[in-house]
C-alpha cells in the first residue's frame, strides 16, 4: 500500500470514529429518542465500527508489523504484543490517576475509571507479555533449528 493511500485511509478511519463517537453515541444513543432510532444507531455503529474501522485498522497494523519485522529481525507477534501493551499501560495509568482525583466529587465515574484502569493495566498486559514471551521463545527455537515453525503448533489443524 502506498503512503498517500494509507494516509487517506487513516484520515477516513479517524473521521468515521469521531462521527461514531460524537454523533451516533452522544447525540442519538444517549438522548431521549425512540427505541427503534436508538437500535438503528447501534446497528450503524457496529456495522461501521466492526465492519470497516476495525478490519482496516488491523490491516494497517499487520502491514506495519511486517515492515518492522523485516527491519528489526524480531518476531511479528512480539512486536504486536508490545505495541499493544504499552498503550494499554498508559491508558490504565491515566485512568487510575483520574479515578483518584474524582473519588471525592463523582464517585460513580471514579469507580468506572478504576475498572478501566484495572482491565487495561492488568488483563491485557498480562496476555500481551505472555504472548510476546512465547513468540520470542518460538523464534529462538526456529533460529536454532534453522527452519520456520508455527508460533502455536497445536493450531496446525485449525489453520485455514
pLDDT tens string 145-156: 988 877 777 655
Dist CA 11 CA 79 (whole Å): 24
**Domain identity same for 38 and 98:** no
**Domain identity same for 79 and 64:** no
Contacts 24+ apart (CB under 8 A), 49-55: 49/17, 49/20, 52/16, 53/13, 53/16, 53/17, 53/20
Give residue 80's domain range: 74-160
**Domain identity same for 29 and 92:** no
Of 116, 57, 76, which Cα lies nearest the Cα of 92? 116
**Domain identity same for 41 and 102:** no
Q: Which of 72, 106, 126 is the last residue of a domain?
A: 72
**Domain identity same for 41 and 96:** no
**Domain identity same for 110 and 46:** no
Record the pTM: 0.41
Backbone phi and psi for residue 52, each to the nearest 5 degrees, phi listed first: -120, -60
Residue 77 burial (10 A CB sphere; 0-12, 13-18, 19+): buried
**Domain identity same for 40 and 84:** no
Q: Which of 72, 95, 117 is the last residue of a domain?
A: 72
**Domain identity same for 65 and 79:** no
pLDDT digits (tens, 9 = 90+) for 6-34: 678 778 777 877 777 777 766 766 677 77
Amino acid at each position: 500500500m502506498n503512503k498517500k493511500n494509507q494516509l487517506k485511509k487513516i484520515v477516513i478511519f479517524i473521521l468515521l470514529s469521531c462521527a461514531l463517537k460524537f454523533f451516533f453515541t452522544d447525540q442519538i444513543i444517549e438522548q431521549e429518542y425512540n427505541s427503534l432510532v436508538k437500535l438503528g444507531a447501534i446497528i450503524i455503529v457496529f456495522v461501521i465500527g466492526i465492519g470497516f474501522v476495525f478490519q482496516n485498522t488491523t490491516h494497517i497494523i499487520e502491514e506495519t508489523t511486517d515492515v518492522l519485522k523485516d527491519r528489526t529481525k524480531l518476531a511479528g507477534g512480539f512486536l504486536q504484543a508490545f505495541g499493544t501493551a504499552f498503550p494499554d499501560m498508559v491508558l490504565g495509568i491515566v485512568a487510575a490517576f483520574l479515578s483518584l482525583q474524582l473519588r471525592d466529587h463523582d464517585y460513580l465515574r471514579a469507580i468506572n475509571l478504576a475498572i478501566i484502569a484495572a482491565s487495561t493495566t492488568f488483563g491485557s498486559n498480562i496476555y500481551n507479555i505472555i504472548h510476546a514471551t512465547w513468540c520470542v521463545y518460538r523464534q529462538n527455537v526456529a533460529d536454532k533449528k534453522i527452519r520456520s515453525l508455527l508460533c502455536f503448533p497445536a493450531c496446525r489443524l485449525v489453520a485455514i
